[in-house]
Amino acid sequence: ARTGTVLLGLRPAGEGGVRVVSRNQLSQVAAVGLSPRVNLSLALALGAAEAQVELGGLRVSRLDVKTGASRTMIRFSRPNAIRCQQALFSAGAAEVSIGGLGNSRCDEIEFEGGIGKVTLDFGGVWSSSSRAKITMAVGELTLRLPRNAGVRIRMDKYLSSFEPAGLVRRGQTYDSRNYAEAERRLDLDLTTAVGGVNVEWVGDQRESGEAEKRGGN
């Protein structure tokens, strides 16, 4: 209580192991609910698991998510109740979908991916500008970009395909046509090695949610 810190999870006791004698023992589920009335600095470490993380409507000030060999879906279905300073995502050999990043209200977003399939949906209610740094080693990356914000992408790619649908190349950047006059902007620094980058566009909150459901299916 003195530090305002809570640690939830599993840790090994001594050097003991786990013996699995039936498939039923593999079916283990943890359901964790968090209060929407307190400010949260969240650090999530997800191992070999299938995870669904709903952060919509909470009061998230900072976020740090690490995933291993997992299938993970993270969403901000409703706007964050407070400004978020930074959101960090790190994925190993994983399938990751992050939806409603426009609702996160994070000033800075960073994603680092190893091998896998990744969808980053920046749809939602944009109340201010944001910067994002994305690094993808090997795999397929889908960017769902907001029509209601100006978008600029600075890209460094090697053996990667990129289809800049709806973006105009201006020197070293790819800009949306409304970037110069937009009140709110999303600036992306994108680095990819081997794979492909796909661009899709999402509009209001409802449309972003529908696109996310299609992606999840």
Q: Which pLDDT value is given to residue 18?
A: 65
CA gap 62, 51 in Å, rounded:
19
The whole-angstrom separation of Cα 169 and Cα 147 is 17
Q: Which helix (H) or strand (E) holds 202?
A: strand 185-202
For 69-95, the pLDDT digits (tens) are 889 999 999 999 999 999 999 998 889
* Mean pLDDT confidence for 178-206: 88
Instruction: Report DSSP letters for 15-58, one per residue.
Output: T------SGGGG---------TTSEEEEEEEE-SSEEEEE-TTS
pTM for the complete prediction?
0.86
